[in-house]
């Protein structure tokens, strides 16, 4: 919430979504503050990018140790700002630290200069490719995983040699301020990481600040706004949308495992999980059994404020109304409730909702799934499941449960998504080396892995002449004899000369 008056700077106040209590107040920074932050970042970036990979690795691992030693502080702030149970908050912090560790240790291998092979026409040339920092990267964080998700940009951008200006979501400003402060404690004179605080106007100012790249995570509508703003200055954008993926359950699947993964993927973090499960397509012959297993597990879950609650509240208050609208539309179009329903929505909590036989054109399928709602639909066969997944167009991730492992890779290639997991669901997010990105609107860049490091780098290719070319064709002084010899070699290599 934003407040202020004449002659007073606006103030952003954040609240615990479980109790409504104030947990922090922060300045709403505008264009002037953003300009100064970017200027300071550019100065720090000169030192940071000029450091070797090994030096940056030492700094980042030192920062990692600070975060790890004081993780309980970050977990407490995360719980206050999101209402997450202790286990979910702790896991999020641990995953963020693992990504920081991986990025620091693997940047040199992924981005260091390496030699490339030359062909027979250019044997005298030595070619190499390397990756250099972009400069200053702006990161716009989400509310649902405010530590783990932005760390997938912050850690990789810093490991690649960039300075970062991080604008956390207004609902979770405290975690962003904490991360930047721990870096400042380590390197007080080098603002390689800064946090800027504020609301949407601050995010817009960062987009206009002419940084070298913007990394955004959040809803589709916000992504379009960010892309439009950045287009004015031709600033490139990497986007991670907040909608969830799908699951396919084949006739030979271990149904207990699939049901457990489906319910966790749909309900963890109150369904506010971009790596989660929105809908499941189940082979008709095992549909009833699978649905019964899902219903049994979902009914056992209890959201709440207790440390050991299954999950917490909706962090963004308005999201409860989005869930209500999607469920109402699904039921109006012929879907049916198996667990819960509209009565399950009791702000700020939403109890588990399982829907069945939901038409593919309903808002619950076509809209972003951000809530503890799971859709379970029948599918005639794998071809039908592929068609439905691709038709929905939410190209994030698909989980496939089957015992026929030998055919999974061929099957996976038919799915227009960025990640396919086999006999597991959300666990892929815990593999820092695994890059993930989507397709179509979800395909604006990558997070994690070597591709995540290169996302925040520019390519520099170098070719140098080592000695005079025996068959130099790159001159107007080439002789007929040299051309005949070159053509003869080409014909031997590639076929008859036409």
From first to last of the 498 residues of the chain, give the pLDDT tens digit: 555 544 445 889 999 999 999 999 999 999 999 999 999 999 999 999 999 999 999 999 999 999 999 999 999 999 999 999 999 999 999 999 999 999 999 999 999 999 988 887 788 888 999 999 999 999 999 999 999 999 999 999 999 999 999 999 999 999 999 999 999 999 999 999 999 999 999 999 999 999 999 999 988 889 899 999 999 999 999 998 877 889 999 999 999 999 999 999 999 999 998 889 999 999 999 999 999 999 999 999 999 998 889 999 999 989 999 999 999 999 999 999 999 999 999 999 999 999 999 999 999 998 888 899 999 999 998 899 999 998 886 667 899 999 988 788 888 889 888 889 999 988 888 899 998 876 666 557 888 999 999 999 999 999 888 887 777 777 788 888 888 888 888 888 888 655
Taking phi over 0 as left and psi of -120 to 50 as alpha, with beta for the rest, 115 belongs to: beta
**Token couple for 99:** 């990504």
Supply the pLDDT for residue 410. Answer: 85
Count of CA atoms in the C-beta half-sphere (13 A) of 297? 22
Closest by CA to 201, choosing from 419, 408, 342, 34, is: 34
Are 449 and 433 in contact by the 8 Å Cβ rule? The answer is yes
Are 96 and 148 in contact by the 8 Å Cβ rule? The answer is yes
| Greatest pairwise CA separation for the chain in angstroms | 87
Supply the pLDDT for residue 136. Answer: 98
Evaluated on CA atoms 383, 388, 391, 396, the torsion sign reads: negative
Are 47 and 35 in contact by the 8 Å Cβ rule? The answer is no
Closest by CA to 241, choosing from 214, 274, 282, is: 274
Helix (H) or strand (E) holding 383: helix 382-392
Task: Name the CA radius of gyration of the chain, rounded.
Answer: 26
Using CA atoms, how far apart are residues 354 and 362, in angstroms rounded to an integer?
A: 15
Domains 11-242+449-458 and 245-432 share a fold: no
Count of positions (residues) in the chain: 498
Q: Is the peptide bond before 395 cis (omega within 30 degrees of 0)?
A: no
Three-class SS of residue 2?
strand
Are 376 and 288 in contact by the 8 Å Cβ rule? The answer is no
pTM over 0.85: yes
β pairing state of 277-283 and 213-218: unpaired
Using CA atoms, how far apart are residues 50 and 54, in angstroms rounded to an integer?
A: 12
Fold for domain 245-432?
Aldehyde Dehydrogenase; Chain A, domain 2 (3.40.309)
Supply the pLDDT for residue 426. Answer: 85
Are 198 and 167 in contact by the 8 Å Cβ rule? The answer is yes
Supply the pLDDT for residue 440. Answer: 65
| Residue labelled with tokens 């496939």 | 400
CATH 3.40.50.360 assigned to 11-242+449-458: no
Give how far the C-alpha of residue 289 lies from the chain's centroid of Cα atoms, to the nearest Å: 34
Supply the pLDDT for residue 497. Answer: 55
Using CA atoms, how far apart are residues 307 and 309, in angstroms rounded to an integer?
A: 6
Using CA atoms, how far apart are residues 463 and 116, in angstroms rounded to an integer?
A: 9
Three-class SS of residue 450?
helix
Supply the pLDDT for residue 474. Answer: 73
Using CA atoms, how far apart are residues 291 and 40, in angstroms rounded to an integer?
A: 56
Q: Where are the alpha helices (DSSP H) in 165-318?
A: 173-186, 200-208, 220-231, 255-267, 284-299
Domain ranges of the chain: 11-242+449-458, 245-432
């Amino acid at each position: 919430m934003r407040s202020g008056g004449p002659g007073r700077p606006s103030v952003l106040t954040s609240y615990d979504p479980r109790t409504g209590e104030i947990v922090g107040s922060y300045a709403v920074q505008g264009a002037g503050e953003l300009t100064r932050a970017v200027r300071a970042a550019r100065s720090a970036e000169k030192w940071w990018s000029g450091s070797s990979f090994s030096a940056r690795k030492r700094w980042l691992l030192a920062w990692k140790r600070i975060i790890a030693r004081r993780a309980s502080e970050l977990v407490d702030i995360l719980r206050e700002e999101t209402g997450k149970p202790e286990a979910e908050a702790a896991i999020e912090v641990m995953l963020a630290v693992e990504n920081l560790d991986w990025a620091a240790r693997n940047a040199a291998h992924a981005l260091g200069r390496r030699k490339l092979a030359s062909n027979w026409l250019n044997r005298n040339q030595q070619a190499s490719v390397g990756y250099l920092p972009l400069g200053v990267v702006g990161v716009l964080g989400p509310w649902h995983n405010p530590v783990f998700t932005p760390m997938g940009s912050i850690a990789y951008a810093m490991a690649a040699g960039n300075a970062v200006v991080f604008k956390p979501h207004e609902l979770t400003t405290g975690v962003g301020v904490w991360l930047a402060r721990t870096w400042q404690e380590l390197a007080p004179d080098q603002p390689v990481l800064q946090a800027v605080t504020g609301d949407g106007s601050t995010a817009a100012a960062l987009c206009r600040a002419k940084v070298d790249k913007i990394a955004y995570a959040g809803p589709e509508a916000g992504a379009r706004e960010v892309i439009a703003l950045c287009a004015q200055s031709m600033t490139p954008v990497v986007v991670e949308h907040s909608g969830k993926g799908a699951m396919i359950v084949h006739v030979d699947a271990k149904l207990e495992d699939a049901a457990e993964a489906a319910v966790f993927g749909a309900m963890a973090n109150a369904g506010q999980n971009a790596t989660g499960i929105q809908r499941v397509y189940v082979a008709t012959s095992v549909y009833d059994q699978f649905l019964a297993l899902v219903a049994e597990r979902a009914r056992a879950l209890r959201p709440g404020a207790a440390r050991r609650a299954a999950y917490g509240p909706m962090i963004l208050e308005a999201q409860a109304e989005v869930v209500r609208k999607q469920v109402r539309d699904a039921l109006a179009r012929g879907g049916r409730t198996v667990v819960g329903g509209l009565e399950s929505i009791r702000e700020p909590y939403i109890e588990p909702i399982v829907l069945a036989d939901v038409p593919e054109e309903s808002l619950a399928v076509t809209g972003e799934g951000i809530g503890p709602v799971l859709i379970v639909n029948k599918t005639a066969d794998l071809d039908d499941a592929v068609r439905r997944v691709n038709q929905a167009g939410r190209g994030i991730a698909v989980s496939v449960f089957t015992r026929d492992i030998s055919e999974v890779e061929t099957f996976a290639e038919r799915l227009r998504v960025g990640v396919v997991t086999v006999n597991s669901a959300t666990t892929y997010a815990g593999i820092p080396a695994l890059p993930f990105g989507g397709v179509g609107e979800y395909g604006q860049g990558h997070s994690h892995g070597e591709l995540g490091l290169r996302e925040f780098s520019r390519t520099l290719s170098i070719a140098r002449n080592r000695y005079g070319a025996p068959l130099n064709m790159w001159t107007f002084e080439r002789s007929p004899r040299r051309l005949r010899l070159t053509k003869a070699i080409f014909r031997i290599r590639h076929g008859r000369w036409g």
